[in-house]
Amino acid sequence: MKSQLSDSSPTIPSTGKGRSVRAGDVCFWLDQGPAILLARTEIEDPIPMDELAEYDQIPSERGWTVKLLHTGEILDVHDDTLFVWPNRPFDKCM
């Protein structure tokens, strides 16, 4: 139930690079090491099935589909979990 955003989606300013981040840039994801940003995405909030009928539209947040360089995993992550340097959360990638 995730929807991919087009490649022409606007990027978010980066505090660490002095320019907007974009697909192909490398950031660090939590404590999992470097990750290549593949594409912008919308990450839907988890909603219990019995509450689904209460929503006209499922709430979501912007994020990135990333590929972790150490493991090769591809997953969707929230903007606020990406960093320019490992273990330095004040240098957000977003």
When the pLDDT of each residue in the chain is averaged and rounded to a whole number, the result is 79
pTM: 0.69
Beta bridge partners of 74: 67
| pLDDT tens readout for residues 38-52 | 999 999 998 999 998
Cβ–Cβ < 8 Å for 90, 79: no
- Domains of the chain are 3-83 (2.40.10)
pLDDT attached to residue 11:
39
* Structure-block tokens of residue 41: 């995405």
